[in-house]
Amino acid sequence: MKVLVADKISPKGVAFLRQQPGFEVVEAYGSSPEKILELVKDVHAIAVRSETKITAAVFAAAPLLKVVGRAGVGVDNVDVDAATERGVIVMNTPSGNTIATAELTFTHLLCGARPVPQAAASMKAGQWDRKSFSGIELFKKTLGVVGLGRIGGEVAKRALSFGMRVLAYDPYLAPSRAKAMQVEGVSLDELLRQSDYITVHMPLTDDTKYLINEAALAKCKKGVRLFNCARGGIIQETALVAALKSGHVAAAGLDVFEDEPLAKDSPLRTLPNVVLTPHLGASTAEAQESVGIEVAEQIADVLNGGDIRNSVNIPPIDAATRQLLGPYLDLGKKLGTLVQQIAPPGITTLRITYSGKVAELDANAVTRSIQLGFLARISGPSVNFVNVPAAFQRLGLQAEVVKSNSDCGYTDLIEVEAVAADGTRSSAQGTFTGKGNQPRIVGINGREVEVAAEGKLLVLENMDQPGMVGAVGAILGKDKVNIADMSLSRLAPGGTAYMVVRVDTEPGEKARAEIKAHPAIKLAKFVQL
């Protein structure tokens, strides 16, 4: 088995690969794209960090390739779709840099409280200026942690040891998990209003982009201190610059930026109350050694026919089973993401009910696919088929599976129900109908609907009164949004009704606002499957 180590990883990781019987290891650091295409012609595995691009052309040139291992979390430099098409496993190492990033975050917190970098620069310039570098203490201050995953949880632990009060905003953090970690689970608005320090630890998704924007900063205390060692774009840089200049934000520490490398003329570089580092989150000897060894072990396992760990593109099942379960995996993932998008915050339990033929199968992979769909917009690329149960556990979420023998009215039926701490329930049902067994959504929140399980959906709950279809259609038409499909449902005339509209393009903000403002509409959710 030939392993190409295309980027420099820990020597211990390389040594581990060389120790495997029958392995040939080729180290080719800094190779050009052309050289990579030449080297991969007879390799079975590739190990990379972030420098080498593993493109569709690379996969096409590597007929023996079985696995690509990324020593790190993000796989932006790997064409995962091309890998999947070629049957190549792509793996990452999501846990190796947790402590390194948490410690860097806390370093920024301390530098935001005590301007050590600025004072050090002053001393090196020959000055002795004590008055200009007065700071504040962390003790008895309130830290707001936005996103309490692995890294956010480690930051919270360190803050508690400094005598800080810790607030946490995470829509999918169960109250029991917050209590166990000795933090207070609050809404984002509460966190913004009460915190003296705020640090963000969420993936960059459509929901988290510019989560901390001008409006959010306006809700913060005057003199708040803000930190981001997660992903650039969660904090809106233009809004942050303005708040730093006005003094509303007293200090900030950033390790990540909307565009990297940070532009030389960025106004962030000119502000005295900002500490900037060039994306050093995982840049410790320990973290690099950890991910290097981890990726080497994972590659060896795959090539030796062992377990597949931290795969980002395939479920851990054999080919025959995967072919059988394939349609259920796809439908399950869509049901999971649909329920996540219509459910309120504070979900504690995801209840999955299988009825019909699927109830007779080993549906573990389908369950994981549903969980993955539910977390896809929450946890980002670090969650995959292998680690999604652990991600659920980390968030304090329970996954309950029921296999029902009762007559569901369909050959197959999967129901996904999200239960919040206050008992609020949100649900969706899916099955296969028509020629070719096409996946369909046949129930939302207990209402019978029927719409294709694909694309973009508007889910509306409204008072059952004349003209509602026309009113919604007119708003969408004015926004040049074409309706592809529609399903209507009601329990009784004059009560409430459901309207599920599948559209070709996403409605604009103005159209969405107009729909939500309609006096007869009680609920309006835009869902992307």
Catalytic hit among 51, 260, 360, 400 = 260
> Which CATH number applies to 98-276?
3.40.50.720
Identify the pLDDT of residue 320.
66
Catalytic hit among 231, 440, 447, 502 = 231
Count the Cβ atoms, other than its own, within 10 Å of residue 123.
12
pLDDT tens digits along 440-489: 999 999 889 899 999 999 999 889 899 999 999 999 999 999 999 899 98
CATH 3.40.50.300 fits 2-96+286-303, yes or no: no
* Residue 349, both tokens: 């339990």
Q: At what angle do helices 98-113 and 285-303 cross, to 10 degrees?
A: 160
In this prediction the pTM is 0.71
Can you spell out the DSSP letters for 387-418?
A: THHHHHHHTT-EEEEEEE-S--SSSEEEEEEE
The dihedral over CA atoms of 310, 314, 317, 322, expressed in degrees to the nearest 10, equals 170
Identify the pLDDT of residue 15.
96
Q: What contacts 136, CB < 8 A, 6 or more positions away?
A: 113, 114
Catalytic hit among 86, 279, 322, 512 = 279
H or E element at residue 488: strand 483-490
Q: Which fold has domain 455-529?
A: Alpha-Beta Plaits (3.30.70)
- Find, among 482, 488, 423, the residue nearest to 461 by Cα: 488
Active-site annotation holds for 248: no
Identify the pLDDT of residue 364.
84
Residue with tokens 């399980």: 453
Q: What contacts 392, CB < 8 A, 6 or more positions away?
A: 350, 371, 375, 398, 399
The dihedral over CA atoms of 181, 183, 188, 193, expressed in degrees to the nearest 10, equals -160
- Across the chain, which has 529 residues, the per-10-residue mean pLDDT values are 95 96 96 96 95 95 95 86 83 88 97 96 95 95 95 96 97 86 96 98 88 97 97 96 98 96 96 96 91 95 85 68 81 94 91 92 88 87 72 88 88 94 92 82 90 90 91 93 90 84 91 92 89
> Which CATH number applies to 315-453?
3.30.1330.90
The segment(s) of the chain belonging to CATH 3.30.1330.90 are 315-453
Active-site annotation holds for 103: no
Count the Cβ atoms, other than its own, within 10 Å of residue 164.
20
The segment(s) of the chain belonging to CATH 3.40.50.720 are 2-96+286-303, 98-276
Q: Are strands 447-452 and 438-444 parallel, antiparallel or unpaired?
A: antiparallel
Beta bridge partners of 351: 400, 417
Active-site annotation holds for 294: no
Residue with tokens 């074409």: 482
Around 230, how many Cα atoms within 13 Å sit in the side-chain half-sphere?
31
Residue with tokens 């389908």: 366
